[in-house]
Amino acid sequence: MLILEDQPDLAALFTLQLQALGWCVDQVGTDAEAVEAASSQPPDAIIIDTLIPASEGQPLVDRIRAGLAGRPCRLIISTIYEPSDFAGIDVDAVLALPHHRAALEYALLTS
66-111 pLDDT, tens digit each: 999 889 999 999 988 888 888 888 899 999 988 888 999 999 986 5
Helix H or strand E segment including 95: strand 93-96
Closest CA to 76 of 105, 55, 98: 105
Q: Which pLDDT score, from 0 to 100, does residue 55 have? A: 58
Predicted structure pTM score: 0.89
CA angle 73, 65, 14 (to 5 degrees): 50
Does the pLDDT value for residue 10 go beyond 60?
Answer: yes
Counting DSSP H helices and E strands in the chain, the numbers are 4, 5
Longest dimension (CA), the chain: 32
Q: pLDDT, tens digit, for every residue of 19-56?
A: 999 999 999 998 899 999 999 999 999 999 877 655 56
Q: Which pLDDT score, from 0 to 100, does residue 64 have? A: 92
